[in-house]
A and B are shown apart, each in its own frame.
Chain A
Amino acid sequence: MTTWTFILKNALRNPRRSVLTVSSVAVSAALLTSMMTLQRELTVPPESEGASLRIIARNKVSLVQPLPARQLAEIERIPGIVAVTPFTYFGGQYNDEEFTSFAQFAVEPRRFRSLLVEGRVSGGDYDAWEKDRTSCMVGRDTMKRYGLKVGDRMKFRGTFYPCDLDLRIAAVFEGTVDDRGVFFHHKLLDELTGDLGTVGTWYLRVESAEKVPGVIAAIDGRFANTAAEVRAESERAFQMGFVGMLGNVAALIRTVNGVIVFTLALVSASTMSMTIRERFREMAVLKALGYKRRDLLGFILAEGFGLSALGGAVGIGGAWAAWTLLDIQRLTGGIFIVFEVTPRIMATAGVVAALLGIVASLGPAISVGRMSVVSGLKTLD
C-alpha cells in the first residue's frame, strides 16, 4: 500500500457520496464554462484578418438612419481606399419564419468583390451573381441549414423596407467569421423601393492598416456640417458598439457566474466536511497510531482536491465537448454563432474548481487538526 492508495480508497469509500460530489462540481463547472463562453460570445466579437482593413460608415444620427447615395462619389475620391460599396441591411423575414437569424444586405457586387477578403466562393459563380440583378450570394451555413442549392429561390418579406424579395441563389461563399449572410444587388432594392436615393451604410476597404485612421478622419470630415453627417469606424469598433448597446448584460452574466461559483463552493464545502466529519473517529485512530497533523491535513486536502479536480475535468470537458460537437447555430436558432470554449476559459474554470476543492477541505482539515485524540475517539459514527 502507498499513501496514494490510501487516499484513493478513502475517496471511494462512500461511492454514492463521491459520485454526488463529483457530479455537483461537474455540473457547476460545466455551467461556469458555458456562462464564460456566453459572456465571451456576447462581448468579444469574432476577429478576422480583414476586419482591421475594413471600415463601416454610418449616419451619425444612428445606424438606422439612411445615408444619401450621392455620397459615393465623394468617398471614392478619398485616397487610400481600395473599394467601397453601399451596404444596406434589409431585415427581411425568410419564408415567414417568426425570427430570421441571418441578415440580408444589399450591396454592389462589382464593388463588394474585393471586400470579401477572407471569404471565397465555394459554389456557383460570383460572375453569375454579378450579372443577374435578381440573384444573390448566400453563406454556406445558411445553405446547409435550409438544405438549399445553387439555383433555388429565397423569398423575404421586408420588415424595414416596404417591399419583398424573391432571389435566385447564384453563388455560395464561405470562410468569413459569419458564413450566414445573404447578399443581393442594391439596384434591385432601389427598383423595388422606387429609388429612394439612400443607402444604409458604406462598407469600404483601405489599402493598409496604417491608413485606416486617416481614411476615417477624412470621411468624417468630408461630411461634417452636411445634411447627412457620417460616422466612420473600423469594423471591429463597429462590432464593439453593438456590445455596448447590450448595456448591463455583461455585468448580469458576471453576477450569475459569481453566484454559480458561490454555490459550487458551498456544495462542495458541505460535502467535504460531511465526508470528513463522519470519519472523525478514524482520524483520531490515525492520530493515535502516530500520524501527525500535517499528514492528516495532506490526506484531506488531497482527497478534496482530487474529487473537485475530477468533477472540474468532467464538467469542463463535458461543456467543451457539448459546445464543440453540437451545432450551436442550429440549437439557438442562429443567435449564437461561434460559442467557442477557449483554452483560457477552460483553464479559468479548472483553476476555480481546483481551488474550491482546496478551500472546501480547509475547514474540516482545521477541525481535524484541532481535535484531540480522546474526544475524537468518543465520536460516534
Chain B
Amino acid sequence: MNTPPPPTSTKKDPIVRVRSLSKVYRQGDIDVTALNAVSVDIQPGEFVALMGPSGSGKSTLLHIVAGIDRPTSGEVEVQGINVGNLDESDLAEWRNQYVGFVFQSFNLIPVLTAAENVELPLMLTRLGRAQRREQVRAALELVGLGDRMHHRPDQLSGGQQQRVAIARALVTDPVLVVADEPTGNLDAKSATDVLGILASLARDAGKTVIMVTHDPKAAAYGTRSLHLEKGEIVP
C-alpha cells in the first residue's frame, strides 16, 4: 500500500486505520458505489460522529469497520489487526472481543430479560456464571439500569431499551463501540441520556466510539465529525 497518510491523522498510533476503502454493490441492474476510496484514522478515546445524507455511505463505513460487512477493496485495521484477513469464524470471535454494537431499533431479544440480553455476548466467552453475572450487573449499573435487570424489553421504555443495548455493547469490554443512529427511535430526553452515556464512554472509559447520525445535535456530543457525501469524506 502506498497510499499517503490521510490529512486527519494527528497522532502516531490510531486505533482504527481505514485505507482506500471502497464498497460497490449491485442494486437491480446498476452498480452503486457506497464508498469510494475512503481513508481515515481514528485515535483511541475519540467519539466520532459520521454524518451525511442518506445513501452517503456512512452506515456502510460503520458496518465494514465493525466487521459485519466486507469491503470491495481497501483495508481496515483495528488495533493492528487487519480485519479483512479474518475468515468468517475468526471475524465473529473478533467482533465479540473488540466491538460493541448499538442499533437504531435496539434489537434486544424480546424473550430475554435485560440482564439476559446483556449476558448474551458473554455466553461466548470462557467466563463462569458468577463472573458473567457480576459483569452484567456492572454494565447495567453503568447505564443506570441496575434496578431493571429482570425486566423484559417490552416492560422498558425506548430509552431504557437503548441503554440496555449499550450495556450489552459494553459488557465484553470492547475497544470499539459502534452505534448506528442510536437516537433515531428515541424522544429528546432519552436521546440526551443515551448520548451522554456514549460520550462518557469515550471520555471516562477510554473507549473509541463511532456513531452514525444525521442529527447535528447528536453529532455535537462527539469529539470529531466526519461528513460523507456520495461515498467520500468531505471536509
A residues lining the B interface (CB < 8 Å): 1, 3, 5-6, 9-10, 12-13, 281-282, 285-293, 295, 372-374, 377
Contact = CB atoms under 8 A, between A and B. Distances in A.
Interface residues of B, number: 28
Contact of B97 (A3, A288, A290): A290
A21 B103 CA distance: 32
B48 to A, nearest CB: 19
Nearest to B90: A292
Contacts of A10: 111
Chain A interface mostly helix, strand, loop or mixed?
helix
Chain B interface mostly helix, strand, loop or mixed?
helix
B119 A281 contact: no
Contacts of A12: 111
Contact of A291 (B101, B116, B124, B172): B124
B111 to A, nearest CB: 4
Contacts of B115: 1
B104 to A, nearest CB: 9
Contacts of B69: 372-374
Contacts of B63: 373-374
Interface of B: 63, 66, 68-69, 88-89, 92-97, 101, 103, 107, 109-112, 115-116, 119-121, 123-124, 168, 172
Given A1-B119, A372-B69, 14 more contacts: A1-B123, A3-B123, A6-B112, A6-B120, A13-B111, A288-B66, A289-B120, A290-B172, A292-B92, A293-B89, A373-B63, A373-B68, A377-B68, A377-B103
A293 B93 CA distance: 11
A26 B71 CA distance: 48
A117 B116 CA distance: 68
B93 A290 contact: yes
Contact of A281 (B66, B107, B124, B172): B107
B130 to A, nearest CB: 13
A285 B68 contact: no
A285 B92 contact: no
A1 B109 CA distance: 14
A258 B182 CA distance: 53
12 contacts: A12-B111, A13-B110, A287-B92, A288-B68, A288-B95, A289-B96, A292-B93, A373-B68, A374-B63, A374-B68, A377-B68, A377-B107
A261 B121 CA distance: 39
A9 B172 CA distance: 23
Contacts of B172: 290
Nearest to A290: B96
A290 B68 contact: no
Contacts of A292: 88-89, 92-93
A289 B95 contact: yes
